[in-house]
Structure 1
Amino acid sequence: MSDLVLLNGRLLDPTTGDFLPHGSLAAHGGDIVAVGDESSVRPWISPAATVVDLRGAVITPGLIDGHCHPVSGADLTRGADLSACVDLPGLRAELDRARRALAPGEWLHGWGLDPNLFGDLPISADTVGPVLAGVPAVLRLFDAHSTLASHRALELAGVTGPRRFDEAAEIVCDERGRPTGLLLEEPASMLVEEAAPKPSDEQFRARVAEVLRGMAAAGLTGGHMMEGDRAERAVLRALDERGELPLRLRLAPWCRPGDAVGELIAAQGDGGALWRVAGVKLFLDGTIDNGTAWLEKPDCHGESMHPYWPDPAAYTAAVVAFDAAGVPTATHAIGDAAIRHVLLSLEKSRTIGHRIEHIETLPDDLVPRFAELGVTASMQPTHCCEFTRADHTDNWSRRLGEERAARAWRCRDLWEAGATVVLGSDWPIAPYPPLGVMAGARHRRPARDLSQPPHGLDQALTPLQALRGMTVNAGSGRLAVGERADLTVLADDPLRVSDLDLAALPVRLTVTAGRVTHRAADL
């Protein structure tokens, strides 16, 4: 007998793009136990089974976000969503609304702040203006590698001037040595973040559960979670034990400069029914927008010339140690110098599954190296769509200059060179709905205005490549007996819906480990 029976669907094979000859399946104990036509699957129906008539909807292997932060993102997305603000007046109006809603003594939080809205003005508390006066405010820029703090927040955190960090982090100060409010990279940002009041453990678990339910409703059955320290694992453990974990999560806890490699190796395999530690995440640089990426030539401000690790050789030693222990690594490398150093570090690797995350500007000579070394290219095409412009007038492109901005997010070149390309959102940096990610990979236009020209249309993926990037390449199984019953059901064939309409394609049903985690109201 079965726990779940799906009838009258269309089963799409993401390896070929063809429909399978049958349209029904049954699942039991988290696995697919029968696939066939309706008459062959109906005998699997038990009195306790959930039976769904899909009425011609399309079943694919479960969609997987190849790079996301659902636990830390639940904290980072507290407060006002600033991602829709496109200019300073709009930002000030949104912050004023948030300020008016604060209780006495409460901190103002915001997230998704786009540096492009500052134009040529400095990113500072003074530029934002009086709306932040006297209010402890923490505004996270969209890349999550920088924070804009109000002067009151800096005061409460005891941040009064520059400090020295081992990593490439900075408290940005004016010519008088007074902090402007802009904090670059985690060590600097955390000085203020840790001074702000925190929600209770139960409140935070509820927020993480809310985020994960939203992901399931968007069609996700799994995610490569680029985090996973002890506290984050405790949250997942509690949700899993309560049956409140709707996604299958693969964790890669962070390895920072100076961290004990042995402890991270020992953490491998920790997990529960739907989550497991299976790798580590390292940062080799920051971001181009911040001037903290690691480039082979400086950006237009003379910045982005240093790695995040003070000693790149120490990064290489850590990667070699993880590789020797059979632990796959995922390295944040955005700039060309950082990408090159990761590839050099992995030249003699033995472990399968090493990855490079982001890969925002890539020289020609490094494109074939991914396939040659078996290194996965983990990419987020919506970052190109939402935060850069085809005419290169955005902050990212202006910092790099024409030559390097023209080689942005080379998804197609890497794919055609034989690399395994995995697609993700990097939520909360960009929205997590996977259909939006696949759409962005196909059209490379900003979702807020699809009439805008694409940035690098020659790097767009085909519909089948985009689907593979969030299924097969990300670790989904097949629609076959014995495979995991992780399934995404869509209203129509995602390969034949137009690029510009794909993001709005309704998700009819989501199934993780044979359990329905989202179901359309009319299904």
Structure 2
Amino acid sequence: MEGDTMRNHGFLAILAVMLLPGPGLAAEPADVIFLNGNFTTLEQAQPAAEAVAVAGGRFLAVGTEADIAAYKGPATEVIDLGGRRVVPGLIDAHTHPLETLWMKSDWVDARYPEIPSVAVALQNLSARVASSKPGDWIYVACVSASENKFAEKRIPTRAELDAAAPDNPVILANGAHMAVANSKALAALGVKKGTLRLPHGGAVLVDAEGNPTGVITDGFADIPGSPAPGEIAGYYAEGIPALWNQNGFTSMLAITPLKAVPVLQQVSAAGKPANIRYSVSVWAAPDGAGLPDDLSILDMPKQADPDAFKFLGIKAWVDGENDCRTGFMSEPYQGHFDTDPAGGHGTLVTPQETADAFVDRAHASHRLAMLHCAGDAAMDICLTAYERSIKADPSPILRRIEHFGVFQMNDTQLMRAQALKKDQLAISVQPIWLTELVKADVENMGADLAKTGFRFRTMIEAGLEPAASTDMTGLYLGNVDPFKAMQAVVTRESDAGVFEPQEAVSVEDAVRMWTIWPARSIGEGASRGTISPGKLADMTVLSADIFAIPPDQIADVKAVQTIVGGLVVYRRP
């Protein structure tokens, strides 16, 4: 992982000077020149520029318009940016793009706030049943923590799903880590009295007599259904780039189901230019089980563009998420919902021994290990697994914690993460959840524990370089907009009002959270994340100057152009 050191900045500055032609010398002609821009490079040696030259998909030179004019050849395309602010291409550090397009297009909509209640959600389900054949699986999308949000302060029950769909198996997702299944679905999954676990790690909640309530946590690996291979290919080739490009994204870490990898490999081998750069992490079961012994079979084919398609690592879930009370916590959750796992401390999906083995497996294959940790008890398991692996093999290996400190983080965990940073620890965070989950966190965890979450300024001051992400799954459809998240971390406006304002970050750090820090979190800091000679020519052109407008207008900013490798892949109409 590239460190943000003065030596690196000095090298880039020297390289920039070397690439500028001397007096009387002809410059290498550029493929394309972008001029009349207000470029924020995020490079300390040259923080601003007026124009850039691009050749072979990479920045050839960055500087003034007079500097860059020397690179104009007879075949050079020149694009005038109209004086707009330009930042490095935005990078989504943690997202589920396949699931997003599937849920967006195929699932019954029960997403709050457009769907305000259980009653309306059941009406929408009944409408889908009327147009479905008996036996067809039906999936319903609710945003996370819907039990805190629906008017009834609960989610639909198994009995209500049975009444609405007596002849169809139904899965209602309450966020990405909890679902309610009706009786037909439970029977299809082989769940009966006394069943507590699904084969791939999902937990089944039961009543006092051992009968399943219908609530399943982290069970989506066991639930059948997915798009057909042709649909998946279309998503990766066209649908995913289109959605992310229009929001300014040029790269993503795509967390991908194991069974989708062969389709993505075929897409990568097709030879068509990629409008988004995929770094791929794969999961099979929540605890990491079911992955192939030889992880190299997940590599992209040799003919694929390595800057656009790369198998990066594997992911496991240590726990669920605090918003649906399944994040594994030291303290019990406050209050009670019928969806609570036994004991009131959340769900432990991957215990310490299994987490240790998962990390060892990734590192033995020289792959990135990604551990999802939401609650503080899960975080301790994750940190211990990485501390142990470093002690056994101190060579630098990229490793990541997903959702680090988003829901809760104590100072000891902060210091442990700081100590791991030098061994190339990266963290992904989801700042958009400030606008959606603070109220639920306070209700579920209490105000004091809730205040320990979303401490982005503290993370930055500790040198942890939090990599922002959408964590899109198709549940919160608006989360793909990074500018809403940038406004949230700058203003600290949450769904519960201004939340812990001392944790506000600067606009420049908000941009870093979506550019250079995500690049480093996927091991690509040397090739993307800033605008500098030699790096991939990825840029996002903004509708307004994000550094000049009032902070409460940042959410109104849009991507006017998205540029990948010097090619304009999106223009806002």
TM over 0.5: yes
- 1:40 offset after TM fit, Å? 4.4
- In the other structure, the counterpart of 2:110 is 82
- Equivalent residues in 2 for 1:134-283 (5 A)? 134-142=167-175, 144-165=176-197, 169-175=202-208, 177-186=210-219, 189-191=220-222, 193-194=223-224, 196=225, 198-208=226-236, 209-227=238-256, 229=258, 231-235=260-264, 237-238=266-267, 241=270, 243=272, 245-254=274-283, 256-259=287-290, 262-264=293-295, 267=298, 272-273=304-305, 274-283=308-317
Q: CA offsets per residue over residues 340-372 of structure 1, 9 Å max, x none?
A: 122122225233421111132111221122222
C-alpha separation between the residues in 2 aligned to 1:497 and 1:37? 24
Give the Cα–Cα distance (whole angstroms) in 2 for the partners of residues 3 and 517 of structure 1.
16
Partner of residue 438 from structure 1, selected from 470, 476, 486: 486
* 422, 427, 435: which one aligns with 1:385: 435
Say which SS state the counterpart of residue 474 (structure 1) adopts.
helix
Mapped partners of 1:240, 1:455: distance in 2: 47
- What are the within-5 Å matches in structure 2 for residues 403-418 of structure 1? 403-418=448-463
- Equivalent positions of 1:281-300 (< 5 A) are 281-300=315-334
1:156 is displaced (CA, Å) by 4.8
Partner of 2:339: none
Shift of 1:473: 0.8
2 CA distance for matches of 1:40 and 1:120? 62
CA deviation map 1:94-146 (0-9, x unaligned):
4455455557765433324323235554652335684445444332222x112
TM-score computed with the length of structure 1 as normaliser: 0.86
**Structure 1 residues 219 and 205: alpha-carbon distance in aligned structure 2, compared to 1, 3 A threshold:** same
Contact residue 386 and residue 445 of structure 1 kept, 8 A: no
**8 Å contact kept, 2:283–2:291:** no
Q: Does 1:376 align with 2:420?
A: no
- Does the residue aligned with 1:426 lie in a helix, a strand or coil? coil
Aligned with 1:334 (options 374, 385, 409)? 374
Change in 2 beyond 3 A, CA 1:410/1:127: farther
| Of 78, 84, 87, the match for 1:57 | 84
Q: Which amino acid counterpart does residue 59 of structure 2 have in structure 1?
A: I
In 2, the alpha carbon distance for the partners of 1:520 and 1:372 equals 44
Shift of 1:424: 0.7
Q: 1:99 to 1:502 in 2, by over 3 A?
A: farther
Q: 1:341 to 1:159 in 2, by over 3 A?
A: closer
| Residue aligned with 2:78, SS | strand
> 1:260 and 1:81, CA in 2 relative to 1: closer, same or farther beyond 3 A?
closer
Cα deviation digits, residues 204-227 of structure 1 (max 9, x gap): 322343132110111000112233
Change (3 A) 1:92 1:501: farther
Contact in 2 for aligned 1:377/1:422 (Cα 8 Å) = yes
In the alignment, structure 2 segments of 5+ residues that lack a partner are: 1-28, 337-342, 520-527
1:504 equivalent among 550, 553, 556: 556
> Within 2, Cα distance between the matches of 1:492 and 1:140?
37
- Give the secondary structure class of the aligned counterpart of 2:140: strand
TM-aligned CA deviation for residue 298 of structure 1: 2.7
Q: Secondary structure at the residue paired with 2:552?
A: coil
Q: Quick check: 1:33 aligned with 2:60? A: yes
Matched residues, percent identical? 22
CA separation of 1:258 and 1:215: change in aligned 2, threshold 3 A? closer
- Partners of 2:235 and 2:537 lie apart in 1 by 26
Tell me how far apart the structure 2 counterparts of residues 261 and 316 of structure 1 sit (CA, whole Å): 18
TM-score for the superposition, normalised by structure 2: 0.79
1:455 counterpart = 2:499: yes
User: Structure 1 CA distance, aligned partners of 2:130 and 2:44?
Assistant: 54
Separation in structure 2 between the aligned mates of residue 50 and residue 69 of structure 1, nearest angstrom: 35
- Three-state SS of the structure 2 residue aligned to 1:440 is helix
RMSD value, Cα? 3.1
Shift of residue 176, structure 1, vs aligned partner? 5.5
Native 8 Å contact 2:196 2:205 kept in 1: no
Task: Give the gaps of 5 or more residues in structure 1.
Answer: none
Give a deviation string over 1:161-205, Cα, whole Å, max 9, x none: 44242776322344555444322112xx444x31x5x54321232
SS of equivalent residue, structure 1 residue 278: strand
Structure 1 residues 386, 55: closer, same or farther in 2, change over 3 A? same
Structure 2 SS opposite 1:473: helix
* Displacement of 1:55: 0.5
Q: Is the 8 A contact 1:412 1:461 kept in 2?
A: yes
Classify 1:344/1:478 alpha carbon distance in 2 versus 1 (closer, same or farther; 3 Å).
same
The residue type equivalent to 1:498 in the other structure is P
Mark the CA change 1:363 to 1:160 in structure 2 (over 3 Å): closer, same or farther. same
Counterpart residue type for residue 110 of structure 1: V
**Given that residues 355 and 381 in structure 2 are in contact (C-alpha distance below 8 angstroms), is that contact kept between their aligned partners in structure 1?**
no
Match of 1:116 among 140, 143, 148: 148
Which of 474, 480, 492 is residue 544 of structure 2 equivalent to? Answer: 492
**Structure 1 counterpart SS, 2:449:** helix
Cα 1:172/1:65, change in 2 over 3 Å: same
Distance 2:493 2:124 in 1: 25
